[in-house]
């Protein structure tokens, strides 16, 4: 082949390859543009779906909040009617849950209406009697005390509440019964609790564990172990009350819980003395002799010993269970030690129980001096 022919072939091959390369670039660029268009359309569609979903979720949340508020207003209205019908002096604690977004300035009690405002919409109930007081507006769990007085009903927010409004106690002579009281802090701050008891006679007694003063953290609950006892000489009916005070940064809330005692018969299980009431110096160690008695005609078994939690119960030694107790009495010695840093008045109890019968020793200890 001549030189000119070879040159022509090389030039042709060069231009052919260049054309193929350009066509590849063209098609590759076209594919990239098409991919970008597809991605853009997909992203736009996805953004629309997300926007639509957010709108739906927002509407759903709004609907849930409105339903929750409607139920709260209905709950307050029904509780107000209930205490009004029962007459003057009746009180009721109502726990309620409020959604986010309550307008506190527009939510109020006005004449005989309960009015809440949420996102510019009013939720209200109008009752047949006069209403007074104010409404909580903080989101989450709240509590109000609803009370009837002078043909009207008062509604006031409270920082804490007890789960019982009274105690009716049936006891044998010289016996004890254990009950529990739960205090719930509905506020977002600490509540300092103090408890006092007032009884119509020394023939009956009441003890608390934890002791009469303690702190209740925000949103928490505390279970109070309560022991009610009667002396062997007690008989008939007795009355009293427990006052629970709660101090917060906003003020003081309080509840009075009536006590009703009915004492009859003779306790099957009894312990003497029924009370340890003494003054001690810090760091004192000692012991007390307790007589545990079976007043029945049958043998008792599996009698366990327990102490109130915290101080002063933990200052007393643990006693071994009594496997069998024939009719009559046996003696047990309990040791105690008063911590060197103790100071003040402490109350608690020691109990003996076979699961059916309970006998107790009230602890009322005053610690001070040196």
User: pLDDT of 74-108, one tens digit each?
Assistant: 999 999 999 999 888 888 888 788 888 888 888 89
The model's confidence at residue 275, banded by pLDDT at 50, 70 and 90, is: confident
What is the tens place of the pLDDT at every residue in 283-334? 999 999 999 999 888 899 999 999 998 889 999 999 999 999 999 899 999 9
| pLDDT score for 22 | 47
What proportion of the chain, given as a percentage, has pLDDT over 90? 33
pTM confidence score: 0.57
Angle at 314 between CA 311 and CA 319, to 5 degrees: 150
* Residue ranges of domains in the chain: 1-157, 162-265, 269-367
322-356 per-position pLDDT tens digit: 999 999 899 999 999 999 999 998 988 999 999 88
Question: Is the pLDDT at 29 greater than 90, yes or no?
Answer: no
20 pLDDT higher than 90:
no
What was the pLDDT predicted at 193?
92
Contacts of 47 (CB under 8 A, 6+ apart): none
β-bridge mates for residue 358, sequence order? 353
Dihedral sign, CA of 179, 147, 133, 73?
positive
Mean of the per-residue pLDDT values for the chain?
82
Q: State mean pLDDT over 162-184.
A: 87
Q: What is the CATH number of domain 162-265?
A: 2.60.40.2310
Domain 269-367: CATH superfamily, name plus number: Immunoglobulins (2.60.40.10)
Does the pLDDT value for residue 268 go beyond 90? no
Query: E strands, 249-357, where?
Result: 251-266, 269-272, 275-280, 285-294, 300-307, 322-325, 328-337, 344-353
Domains 162-265 and 269-367 share a fold: yes
141-169 average pLDDT score: 86
Instruction: Quote the pLDDT of residue 48.
Output: 59
């Amino acid at each position: 082949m001549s030189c000119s022919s070879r040159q022509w072939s090389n030039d042709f091959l060069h231009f052919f390859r260049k054309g193929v390369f350009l066509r590849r670039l063209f098609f590759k660029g076209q594919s990239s543009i098409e991919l970008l268009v597809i991605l853009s359309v997909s992203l736009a569609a996805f953004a629309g779906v997300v926007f639509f979903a957010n709108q739906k979720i927002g509407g759903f949340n709004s609907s849930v909040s409105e339903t929750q508020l409607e139920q709260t207003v209905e709950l307050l209205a029904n509780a107000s009617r209930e205490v009004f019908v029962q007459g003057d002096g009746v009180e009721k604690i109502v726990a309620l849950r409020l959604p986010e977004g309550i307008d506190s300035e527009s939510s109020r009690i006005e004449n005989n209406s309960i009015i809440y405002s949420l996102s510019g919409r009013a939720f209200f109930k109008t009752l047949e009697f006069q209403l007074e007081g104010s409404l909580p507006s903080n989101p989450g769990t709240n509590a109000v005390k609803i009370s009837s007085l002078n043909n009207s009903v008062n509604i006031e927010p409270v920082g804490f509440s007890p789960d019982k409004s009274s105690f009716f106690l049936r006891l044998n002579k010289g016996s004890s019964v254990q009950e529990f009281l739960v205090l719930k802090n509905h506020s977002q701050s600490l509540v300092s609790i103090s408890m006092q008891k007032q009884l119509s006679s020394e023939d009956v007694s009441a003890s608390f564990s934890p002791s009469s003063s303690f702190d209740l953290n925000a949103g928490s609950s505390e279970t109070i172990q309560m022991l009610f006892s009667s002396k062997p000489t007690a008989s008939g009916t007795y009355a009293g009350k427990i006052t629970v005070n709660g101090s917060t940064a906003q003020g003081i809330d309080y509840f009075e819980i009536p006590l009703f005692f009915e004492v009859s018969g003779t306790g099957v299980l009894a312990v003497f003395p029924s009370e340890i009431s003494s003054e001690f110096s810090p760091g004192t160690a000692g012991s007390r002799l307790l007589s545990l008695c079976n007043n029945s005609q049958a043998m008792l078994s599996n009698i366990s010993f327990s102490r109130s939690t915290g101080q002063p119960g933990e200052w007393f030694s643990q006693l071994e269970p009594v496997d069998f107790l024939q009719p009559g009495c046996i003696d047990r010695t309990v040791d105690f030690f008063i911590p060197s840093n103790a100071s003040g008045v402490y109350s608690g109890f020691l109990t003996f129980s076979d699961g059916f019968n309970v006998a107790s020793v009230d602890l009322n200890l005053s610690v001070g001096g040196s």
